[in-house]
């Protein structure tokens, strides 16, 4: 399954994340088709911060036919190595969005516990806003609206 050709799949969205299994991290690439079906595209042992591992996974996806010329939204956890490898492999057609769940976790871990509920609600309100202006008013001070992050 992890060696199958990908050229016939129409995948407007790709997601990459590291999954912790005991003392190991597995890098997982998922594709999402227009009907919302998820397709496991590839796996590697290693972190999203490891350039060699990320580049190896993305090169494998490209070699198996994941279209570099088709515009795709890549949802990632925010690692610089991952962002760089996506741009190097898939070029200007790769749109990159930081995963809101990862951003949410990162913001909360820098705050005192008594602020978590208020900031969590403000983030959820901002991210569910229909456009940037109301999102900016809802976002906690110093945090850009969801649509302004890439």
Question: What's the CA angle centered on 7, arms 72 and 78, to 5 degrees?
Answer: 30
Domains contained in the chain, CATH given: 13-98 (3.30.420.10), 100-148 (no CATH)
* pLDDT digits 0-9 by tens, 62-109: 999 998 777 789 988 877 788 888 989 888 778 888 766 656 666 767
Paired tokens of 53: 């591992």
CA nearest 25: which of 45, 53, 54, 49? 45
DSSP, res 90: H
* pLDDT digits 0-9 by tens, 3-28: 999 999 989 999 998 888 888 989 89
Query: What is the SS3 string spanning 11-29?
Result: CCEEEEEEEEECCEEEEEE
């Amino acid at each position: 399954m992890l060696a199958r050709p990908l050229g016939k799949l129409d995948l407007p969205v790709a997601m990459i994340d590291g999954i912790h299994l005991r003392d190991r991290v597995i890098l997982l690439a998922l594709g999402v088709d227009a009907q919302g079906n998820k397709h496991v595209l590839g796996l590697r042992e290693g972190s999203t911060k490891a350039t060699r591992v990320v580049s190896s996974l993305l090169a494998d996806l490209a070699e198996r036919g994941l279209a570099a010329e088709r515009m795709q939204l890549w949802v990632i956890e925010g690692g610089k190595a991952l962002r760089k490898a996506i741009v190097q492999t898939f070029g200007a057609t790769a749109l990159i969005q930081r995963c809101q769940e990862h951003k949410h976790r990162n913001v909360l871990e820098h705050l005192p516990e008594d602020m978590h509920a208020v900031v969590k609600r403000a983030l959820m309100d901002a991210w569910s806003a229909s456009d940037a202006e109301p999102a900016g008013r809802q976002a906690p001070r110093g945090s850009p609206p969801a649509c302004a992050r890439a």
